Chains A and B, each alone.
Chain A
């Protein structure tokens, strides 16, 4: 098992090299001159050239790539052309906000999607099944940006139950930064009011992000549960007098979770890259909003940084999912 994990970690290196190379080439092939844009409309050609030299953009592409990789390994992820701030420092600020949103929304998707999927599989075509399937189809077919706007309109503007956007009210002191997760930091500080406020701010963007994966997880769990319920070992469990609850939530659940696990791991990657829309709508200060601003100003170092971080997290989540398979299916052997 340990050897397998080590092998998989070593495998991350070539994947990251390939990913960084691809992203680097694409970012350099994009039309437009980010240095000219950063220097401003009144800059002279000399000033633009000086800026190009300052950022090492006067060198050949292979040399630039080599310098970038060396920087990545030594903790220098480059700097923003616009703000001149190091990308790694920005990521340290914005990444926890995005991760908090993704973790919260994915947890919501799984803890609602999986039990509902199982319960609707018990009586396919029953009342619960019909309601759940219509609701999930509606969630799947609604674009996230539209859903976000509707949530803002009803729950923030009309009902005023939740704030319109942001991560924490400007007029309240936030809890001291420990993990970067506002909810956890509030609990660490023992500030229940701050915890409530951070949950209120998390609610709408999390729902906007969670509904679509929740619907997919629900449908997938439903389908695999229906399949599992027809397996012979479920017949055994019934013949032995085990309770329906034990059969469903222990013996069937574990067998039908493999497909859901794969989909959830894929959804984490989808959610990370999908934060761009939701963070823009809810003014959530995460890497999605950071990436949006960087794209508008053709600031390619932050875009590269964000993409590599998302890629890295995606790879790690899939590694964790692969390791969890072993827990679900004892026949899986890690070699």
Chain B
């Protein structure tokens, strides 16, 4: 059984000027521990696919006509909002494109992380460790402890002190690291990264990708990476799906798609990619990082 299986997913967006067919029969099957990339131009339906998995598409105006999304055999389309709410953060983690706007500017990052940890612990108490934590004060203390550990893990220096800082006191790359920490604090098995590096400069992009790679290795995560950049996908993913106008036009392993692109659009995307294989370097860097962490 596939870890995540999307079958014949169709999504319409209703508006004043009529209905827009946003996702046209999406089929995708992802095994556990795989890193899948979805590439395509703006408006091709990449983010909508990701949001559909999280069941975060606003309905209305969104309208699913048919299809199913199975996560470990559970149909997310048939799951109630209350149940989905429990799954977000604790089974599915999600990070977004622009770290500058996806953190609440009015709250300290410590507060935001602690709330996410407390919420995730309600559905998955094991994130606090083996022992059962009783009482709100103890749970909060524990949530703060794992928040600091998580910040430390994603590479925020002096995490205990920086917990008290507001988002505007961090750089763009640090904010994305904080969002990654937030998405992973509930120990989800699936991480959806919706263009996590688009708003970052090139050197920070590499650091963030390296971080996702190393955490994936450490936690045996399944990752769905959305990007419009085939280069980024090539660095990180084992498989890729190419989307165009709401359809997946081609999918397969990175090697298959890179070596024998079947669709004209994929070929055009590959032509736009700078030459050279940086994936090996990235894997080496991630391995070095894991070794140094250990």
A-side residues, CB < 8 A to B, are 231-233, 235-244, 246, 250-251, 254-255, 328-331
Using Cβ atoms and an 8 Å threshold, which residues of chain B touch A237? Answer: 104
**A-B pairs with CB below 8 Å: how many?**
79
Q: Which of A233, A236, A242 has the largest number of chain B CB atoms within 10 A? A: A236
CB-based contact A243/B105 at 8 Å: no
Q: A240-B116, A241-B88, A242-B119 are in contact. List 19 more A-B contacts (CB 8 A).
A: A232-B96, A232-B102, A233-B103, A233-B105, A235-B102, A238-B88, A239-B88, A240-B89, A240-B94, A240-B119, A240-B120, A240-B183, A241-B86, A242-B116, A243-B85, A251-B106, A254-B106, A255-B105, A330-B166
What residue of chain A has the Cβ atom nearest to residue B169's Cβ? A330
CB-based contact B105/A241 at 8 Å: no
Q: Say yes or no for B69: interface residue by CB 8 A criterion.
A: no
- How far, in Å, is A322 (CB) from chain B's closest CB? 17
Q: Of A238, A242, A246, A330, which one neighbours B105 at CB under 8 angstroms?
A: A330
Q: Which of B56, B107, B183 has the largest number of chain A CB atoms within 10 A? A: B107
What residue of chain B has the Cβ atom nearest to residue A230's Cβ? B58
CB-based contact B106/A330 at 8 Å: yes
Using Cβ atoms and an 8 Å threshold, which residues of chain A touch B96? Answer: 232, 235-236, 239
CB-based contact B119/A243 at 8 Å: yes
Query: If A233-B104, A330-B106, A331-B105 touch, does A241 touch B182 (CB 8 Å cutoff)?
Result: no
Using Cβ atoms and an 8 Å threshold, which residues of chain B touch A231? Answer: 101
Main secondary structure of the interface of A (DSSP, over half): helix
Q: Report the separation of the CA atoms of residues A246 and B111 in the bound assembly, to the nearest whole angstrom.
A: 12
B-side residues, CB < 8 A to A, are 54, 56, 85-90, 93-94, 96, 98, 101-107, 115-116, 119-120, 123, 166, 168, 179, 182-183, 186
Q: Can you list 15 contacts pairing A with B, beta carbon distance less than 8 Å?
A: A232-B102, A233-B102, A235-B102, A236-B179, A240-B94, A240-B183, A240-B186, A241-B89, A241-B119, A241-B120, A242-B116, A246-B115, A251-B106, A330-B166, A331-B105
CB-based contact A255/B106 at 8 Å: yes
Using Cβ atoms and an 8 Å threshold, which residues of chain B touch A329? Answer: 105-106
CB-based contact A242/B106 at 8 Å: no
What residue of chain A has the Cβ atom nearest to residue B182's Cβ? A240
Q: Report the separation of the CA atoms of residues A231 and B183 in the bound assembly, to the nearest whole angstrom.
A: 18
Using Cβ atoms and an 8 Å threshold, which residues of chain A touch B119? Answer: 240-243, 246
What residue of chain A has the Cβ atom nearest to residue B120's Cβ? A241
Q: Report the separation of the CA atoms of residues A242 and B183 in the bound assembly, to the nearest whole angstrom.
A: 12
- How far, in Å, is A233 (CB) from chain B's closest CB? 4
Using Cβ atoms and an 8 Å threshold, which residues of chain B touch A240? Answer: 88-89, 93-94, 116, 119-120, 182-183, 186
Using Cβ atoms and an 8 Å threshold, which residues of chain A touch B94? Answer: 239-240
Query: If A236-B103, A246-B115, A254-B106 touch, does A241 touch B168 (CB 8 Å cutoff)?
Result: no
